[in-house]
Amino acid sequence: MIHQSRFDSVNIPDDVSLTDFVLSKVHRHRDKPFMIDSADGSVITFGETRQLIHNVVFNLINEHEFGCGQVMAILLPNVTLYPILYLGIARSGGASSTINPLYTDEEIKKQLITSNARFIVTNTANQEKVLKSITGTSVEKVFVIGGDSSKNTLPISSLLKDINVTHLLPKNVKNPKKHIVCIPFSSGTTGVNKGVLISHYNIISNLCQAEVYGQVTDKDVMIGFLPYFHIYGQILIMLQSLYSGATIVNVEKFDFDVFLKLIEKYKITHAKIVPPVMLQFAKHPNLDHYNLSSLKRLFCGAAPLSGELTSIVHQRLPGVDIVQAYGMTELATAVTCAESHKARDGSAGILMPNVQMKIIDLTGSDVEGYNKEGELAFKTPSAMLGYLNNEEATQSTIVDGWLHTGDIGYIDKDGYVYVVDRVKELIKYKGFQVPPAELEGLLLKHECIQDCAVVGVPDEAAGELPKAFVVKKQGHDLNEEQVISYIAQHVNPQKKIRMVQFIDSIPKSATGKILRRLLRTSQVSKL
C-alpha cells in the first residue's frame, strides 16, 4: 500500500544550480540582514552575501583551478562565511564535505581521505588541528578565516577578494539531478557514520517541498545554533533562510539561557530545534524570566519527540506553534512535517509534497491499512544518489527506488505519520519488541526526572531487559523502585522497566541524538 502526500505536487526546477536557485529571490531583500553574529553583533546583508558567493566562485575557478568533480572540505562552526563558502563551492561545480569542528585530527583525516578533498577551509581556532590532519591526504591548500599567509595556509581573502570583472560565471552545473553538491555524513548514532551523495536537485527539491508549508518567510528571524555541517541545519536553517529571505542569528556554542536571551534580544520568531532543547523548554525553571513573546514556532526534528513532552511545552508556551518533522541525511532532509500544532502531538506530521511512503513488515511485505507498525520507506526527489564509496550499503538501502530508513513507524487514517523508533534500537524482551522512545516519553513526564534514556541489556532468560538511565531533577529524590512502579502503571507487562541506574547526564550527539551505544557499554559517570 503506497501512501501519497495530501499536498498537490510542486514543480521542482531541474535546470538550475543550487546556488542560483537559493539566490533567486535575493533582489527582493538585498539590503536586509541575512546573518547576524550573536558573538559580536556583526551583520551581513542578503546582497553582500550574494556578492561574496560570486567572488568565491570566480576565485575558486580562476585563481585556484578548482571545479567540477572536486571536493572542498569545510570545518567551521556556524559563522557568516559558512553559506558563502558552501554556495561558492557549489556554483564552481565542486562539492562540499562538511566536517564537525569538534572532530579530532584523526577523525578529520578519515573524512578528508574518504571524500578525497582537494582543499579545506577552517578558522584560526582549528588551524593547528587541521594542519596535523592533512598529512597523507590529498589536501593541497588550507584556507583559514582570520589567518595570514604563514604556516602553509592561505588567508580567506584569496577566496573572497573582489572580482572586477563583469562577465558571467561559467555554467558549471550542467545536470543538477546527477551533479553532487555536498557529501554530508550521517550522525554516526548507530555505528560508523556514512558519507552521503547529495545532488543540487536533491536540495532544491527539499526547499520547494518545505516552501509549501509557508513556515519560513521574509518576516522570520531564525536562530542558527544547530550545526551547519549536519544536513538539518545546513538545509533547513542555512539554505532555507537564504532562499526565503529570513534573517538568521548565528550561535557558535549552545547554552539554553543564552538561547532564551537571544530570543528576547533579537525577537526570534522561529526556532528550529532538537528534542534535547524541547526538553529544556519543558523543564527549565525560569522560562518566565525572559520575554519570549516574539516566538511563533518551535520546529523539532532529528530524534523522537513524544506527545507527552510536546504537551508539557504547549502548556508552558501556549502561544507557540510546535511542529515536528522527520528526516535523515539520506533524505536530504525532511519527508514529513506538521502544518501546525493542530496536528496531533507526538506525530511527525504529514507527507511533504512529492513524497510517497510505504511501510514494510518484518517479513518484507507491505503493511496494508492504518495504525500498523513497520519499517518506513520513501520515494522523494530529495533522496540521495547513494553512499560514498559503499555500493553494497547503497544497494541494500535503496531497493526498487524505495529508500529504506531503518526506522519503525505507522500512519493514521488522516495521514499523520508517527515515528516509533529505530529498528536497531528496539529492545527484544521475550520475543516482544519494546521501543525505548515510548518509555522515555513516559519517564520525562515524571516531575522528579530531568532526563532519561532506555536501552536493552543482555539477559539469558529474556533476551534483553529494558533498563532506564535516569537523571534526577535537582532537589528531588527518587529511587529505583519508584521508577519501576511508575512505568508499570502506564504500560503492559512486557514493556516494564526492569533496571534503573541514576546518572549525571545523558550522552547526546551534537545533532540531538541519545548515544545509547555509550550507555550500553556504560561509558557514563555514576551518581
Question: Crossing angle, helix 307-316 and helix 436-445, to 10 degrees?
Answer: 30
Single out the residue of 83, 227, 304, 381 in contact with ligand ATP (rule: CB under 6 A).
Answer: 304
Distance CA 292, CA 290 (A): 6
CA distances from 7 to 13, 201, 339, 478 (A): 18, 20, 11, 48
**281 scored as a contact of ligand ATP (CB under 6 A):** no
Q: For Mg ion, which is the closer residue by CB, 235 or 449?
A: 235
Q: Does 426 bind ligand ATP (CB under 6 A)?
A: no
Residue by residue, DSSP assigns 290-349 as S--TT--EEEE-SS---HHHHHHHHHHSTT-EEEEEEE-GGGSSEEEE-SSTTSPTT--B
**Closest distance of CB 381 from Mg ion, Å:** 20
Of residues 355 through 414, those in contact with ligand ATP by CB under 6 A are 405-407
The answer to whether residue 302 forms part of the interface with ligand ATP (CB under 6 A) is: yes
Residue among 274 and 483 whose Cβ is closer to ligand ATP: 274
Q: Is 511 in the site for ligand ATP (CB under 6 A)?
A: yes
Q: Own/partner pairs for 427-433, CB < 8 Å, 24+ apart?
A: 427/454, 427/455, 427/456, 427/464, 427/465, 427/466, 428/456, 428/463, 428/464, 429/456, 429/462, 429/463, 429/464, 429/465, 429/466, 429/494, 429/495, 430/462, 430/463, 430/494, 431/463, 432/494, 432/495
Binding to Mg ion in span 404-463, by CB under 5 A: none
Q: Which of 3, 50, 513, 516 binds ligand ATP (CB under 6 A)?
A: 513
186 interacts with ligand ATP by CB under 6 A: yes
| Distance of alpha carbon 327 from alpha carbon 491, whole angstroms | 28
The answer to whether 250 contacts ligand ATP (rule: CB under 6 A) is: no
> Residues in contact with ligand ATP, total (CB under 6 A)?
26
Enumerate residues 300-329 that contact Mg ion by CB under 5 A: none
From Mg ion, ligand ATP, none, interface partner of 96 (C-beta below 5 to 8 A by class): none
Which of 186, 354, 394, 511 touches Mg ion by CB under 5 A? 186
308 scored as a contact of ligand ATP (CB under 6 A): no
Could you give the angle at which helices 436-445 and 480-488 cross, rounded to 10 degrees?
A: 110
Among 348, 350, 357, 503, binds ligand ATP (CB under 6 A): 348
Q: Which secondary structure element, helix H or strand E, spans residue 358, and what is its range? A: strand 356-360
Examine residue 188 and tell whether it contacts ligand ATP (CB under 6 A).
Answer: yes
**Partner interacting with residue 304 (select from Mg ion, ligand ATP, none; CB below 5-8 Å by kind):** ligand ATP
Which cell numbers in the block locate residue 487? 512505568
Residue with smaller CB distance to ligand ATP, 435 or 466: 435
- Provide the grid cell at 278: 524541547
Residue 67 CB, shortest distance to ligand ATP, in Å, is: 29
Which residue from 303, 312, 332, 335 is in contact with ligand ATP, where contact means CB under 6 A? 303
CB of 415 to ligand ATP, least distance (A): 16
Residue 328 lies near ligand ATP (rule: CB under 6 A): yes
Q: In what order do the strands lie in the sheet with 350-351?
A: 43-45, 33-37, 247-250, 221-224, 270-273, 297-300, 321-327, 334-337, 350-351
Q: Which residues bind ligand ATP (CB under 6 A)?
A: 186-191, 193-194, 301-305, 324, 326-329, 348, 405-407, 419, 422, 511, 513
Q: Which residues bind Mg ion (CB under 5 A)?
A: 186
